[in-house]
Amino acid sequence: GESVGLHLPTLSVQEGDNSIINCAYSNSASDYFIWYKQESGKGPQFIIDIRSNMDKRQGQRVTVLLNKTVKHLSLQIAATQPGDSAVYFCAEVLYNYGQNFVFGPGTRLSVLP
């Protein structure tokens, strides 16, 4: 498949360890945030979302934390598996008549056996 973002920041973790992927967003008016996973040759896939009135949201093996004071998002993946290897993007969603999804630069997660 095609490689996305050859020069992306890379996070390498051992299989079974927890992963933390960070993201800074730019607009303090953003009130909705999403994490997407993009595997090689595929489109971005929704993982988890969080609204600005929340600090934390948990899904299956994933947790998103939102710190509005410093405009920071993180995605925590528990017990990282080989299938988690992908590029992860955060997106902040601005709503002004239309929805505008602004994506971060992405982080490549590499799971080591």
Q: Please give the DSSP secondary-structure letter assigned to residue 43.
A: -
- Compute how many other C-beta atoms are within 10 angstroms of the C-beta atom of residue 105: 13
> What beta strand segments (E) does the chain contain?
10-14, 19-24, 32-38, 45-51, 56-58, 62-67, 72-77, 86-96, 98-103, 107-112
* Amino acid (one-letter) located at 58: Q
Contact status: 88 vs another protein (CB under 8 A): no
Q: Near another protein by CB under 8 A, which window of 14-22, 37-45, 59-67, 73-81?
A: 37-45
Number of residues that bind another protein (CB under 8 A): 31
Q: How far is the CB of 100 from another protein (least distance, A)?
A: 5
Q: In the complex, what is the shortest distance from the CB of residue 103 to another protein, in angstroms, rounded to a whole number?
A: 4
SS3 35: strand
Residues 52-81 that bind another protein (CB under 8 A): none
Which span sits near another protein by CB under 8 A: 13-21, 54-62, 69-77, 90-98?
A: 90-98
Kindly give the pairing relationship between strand 10-14 and strand 107-112: parallel
Rule CB under 8 A: choose which of 20, 27, 51, 112 binds another protein: 51
Interface residue list for another protein (CB under 8 A): 2-7, 31-32, 34, 36, 42-46, 49, 51, 89, 93, 95-106
